[in-house]
């Protein structure tokens, strides 16, 4: 569940956020009124397609590297016969990808407030073309640079995503009505996770092509073309003015600006939303790696079928996003959050059950509907939280707050990678099946399902 990922407007709330930072008297970032209806807005659809194409590239490249980093059941058996172990290096890949977000999210958030978000989106998409070109060259010379060399390209991909994240989510409240945020986020996230499906499945096909002696670098060439198309679709996004054009650059902007710290300390709802979204992406980090390990290492599937298994989460998430957006229409709805969290816990618990062939009760075909159910629950859960992080901060702080959310999310992803690594060490030491990692994920989500209740809020205009 990535989007890697992971995976995020001036807002009139029934209870405006309190804190030492004054709310601006005007909305300089909002495009000129009147705005068209959401579903007739070419600017919104241009941004959605741009996000779709970017998420496709991210997930194809990342899943391909995760498959390269995951040992197959045959490799594990051969190593065990020699008294050796084959390392699962997925956690390393996730940490490399996340490092860019941790190091540069602060400056990315500052830029998103100081510059027009539409301009920053354009620059980020041009940078994506360059990164995809490097990826194509890297796969062409993979026999020379190996996995460590591709990790360097993965870091650059994470860096590009770091600067793309704050403007792509922060621009939504500037170019649409606030009352449309739940539906817009549902559609936006639906596009994101449909991209995950296609990117993940194509990664498995590309890996099998490579194993059969094909040229996987040619698939990366397609990614370059997709990055070019995404750059063109970003031109459809309507111009918006900078939120805080006179904002000076301070050394604290490279980390967490003090204004953002004061804001989250003063607004408990916003603080809890950040903690929960970070925990959510911690869970996503565990589940993505667990699905790959279940397919390749436990069930003995090839890369294509393993990627199909991973993509089943993406099949359910778009449906869940639309449901979450519909149920949250015009408001932040705590009951939607709880329903999604409970569904995630139930589905992950089912995936952790032992028994049957390969010590996994559900097996390949039984896992498919449960993974789809987990995806639906995920979409329902995340939409209201995404809206909360967009809606709660004051207008001149939203770019940096979304950057702070990115930092929190990637701290969660790194901890998820480390927790998965520790779980893997434990199951190997105790001779337990690898689907035990799903039980760990269920335990992460359980306190959120029981205790987290965001305040119900009606959204404004």
Question: 410-449: per-residue pLDDT in tens?
Answer: 788 888 888 998 998 999 888 899 999 999 999 999 999 9
- Per-residue pLDDT of 328-387, as tens digits, reads 777 778 899 999 999 999 999 999 999 888 899 999 999 999 999 999 999 899 888 877
pLDDT category of residue 11 using cuts at 50, 70 and 90: very low
Rounded percentage of the chain residues whose pLDDT exceeds 70 = 89
Q: What domains can you pick out in the chain, each with its CATH number?
A: 42-243+256-458 (1.20.1250.20)
C-alpha 380: how far from chain center? 15
pLDDT category of residue 61 using cuts at 50, 70 and 90: confident
Among 145-159, 200-214, 288-302, the minimum mean pLDDT is found in 200-214
Does 371 or 111 have the greater pLDDT score?
A: 371
pLDDT category of residue 94 using cuts at 50, 70 and 90: confident
Res 1 pLDDT > 50: no
pLDDT category of residue 460 using cuts at 50, 70 and 90: low
Res 214 pLDDT > 90: no
Give exposure, 403-424, as e/b (b: 16+ Cβ within 10 Å).
bbbbbbbbbbbbbbbbbbbebb
Res 6 pLDDT > 60: no
pTM for the model: 0.69
- Per-residue pLDDT of 251-285, as tens digits, reads 766 767 677 788 888 888 888 988 998 898 889 88
Among 22-26, 210-214, 324-328, 400-404, the minimum mean pLDDT is found in 22-26
**Alpha-carbon torsion (265, 268, 269, 273), positive or negative:** positive
pLDDT category of residue 25 using cuts at 50, 70 and 90: very low
Distance CA(245)–CA(351), nearest Å, equals 49
> What's the confidence (pLDDT) of residue 461?
54
Per-chain mean pLDDT for the chain: 81
- Per-residue pLDDT of 116-169, as tens digits, reads 999 999 999 999 999 999 988 988 888 888 888 989 998 999 899 889 988 887
Q: Are 454 and 272 in contact (CB under 8 A)?
A: yes
> What's the confidence (pLDDT) of residue 377?
95
266, with CB counted inside 10 A (0-12, 13-18, 19+), is: middle
């Amino acid at each position: 569940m990535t989007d890697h990922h992971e995976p995020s407007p001036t807002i009139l709330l029934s209870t405006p956020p309190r804190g030492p930072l004054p709310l601006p008297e005007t909305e300089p970032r909002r495009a000129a009124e009147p705005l068209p209806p959401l579903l007739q807005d070419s600017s919104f659809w241009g941004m959605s397609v741009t996000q779709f194409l970017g998420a496709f590239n991210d997930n194809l490249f990342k899943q391909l590297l995760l498959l390269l980093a995951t040992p197959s059941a045959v490799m594990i058996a051969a190593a065990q016969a020699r008294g050796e172990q084959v390392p699962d290096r997925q956690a390393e890949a996730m940490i490399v990808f996340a490092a860019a977000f941790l190091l540069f999210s602060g400056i990315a958030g500052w830029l998103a407030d100081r510059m027009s978000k539409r301009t920053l989106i354009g620059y980020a998409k041009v940078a994506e073309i360059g990164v995809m070109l490097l990826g194509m060259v890297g796969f062409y010379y993979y026999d020379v640079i190996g996995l460590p060399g591709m990790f360097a390209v993965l870091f650059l991909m994470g860096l590009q995503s770091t600067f793309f994240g704050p403007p792509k989510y922060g621009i939504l409240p500037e170019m649409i009505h606030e009352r449309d945020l739940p539906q817009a986020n549902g559609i936006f996230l639906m596009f994101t996770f449909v991209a995950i499906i296609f990117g993940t499945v194509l990664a498995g096909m590309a890996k099998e092509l490579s194993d059969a002696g094909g040229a996987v670098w040619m698939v990366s060439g397609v990614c370059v073309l997709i990055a070019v198309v995404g750059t063109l679709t970003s031109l459809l996004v309507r111009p918006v003015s900078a939120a805080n054009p006179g904002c000076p650059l301070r050394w604290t902007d490279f980390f967490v600006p003090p204004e953002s710290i004061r804001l989250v300390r003063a607004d408990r709802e916003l603080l809890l939303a950040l903690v929960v979204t970070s925990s959510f992406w911690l869970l996503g980090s565990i589940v993505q790696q667990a699905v790959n390990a279940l397919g390749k290492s436990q069930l003995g599937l090839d890369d294509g079928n393993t990627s199909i298994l991973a993509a089943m989460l993406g099949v359910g998430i778009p449906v869940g996003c639309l449901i979450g957006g519909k149920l949250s229409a015009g408001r932040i709805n705590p009951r939607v959050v709880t329903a999604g969290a409970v569904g995630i816990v139930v589905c992950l618990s089912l995936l952790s059950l032992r028994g049957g062939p390969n010590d996994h009760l559900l097996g390949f075909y039984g896992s498919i509907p449960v993974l789809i159910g987990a995806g639906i629950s995920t979409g329902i859960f995340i939409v209201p939280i995404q809206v909360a992080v967009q809606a709660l901060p004051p207008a001149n702080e939203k770019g940096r707050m979304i950057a702070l959310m990115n930092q929190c999310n990637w701290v969660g992803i790194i901890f998820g990678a480390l927790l998965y690594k520790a779980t893997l060490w434990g199951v190997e030491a105790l001779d337990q099946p690898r689907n035990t990692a799903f039980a760990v994920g269920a335990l992460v989500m359980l306190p959120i399902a029981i205790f987290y209740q965001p305040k119900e809020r009606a959204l404004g205009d």
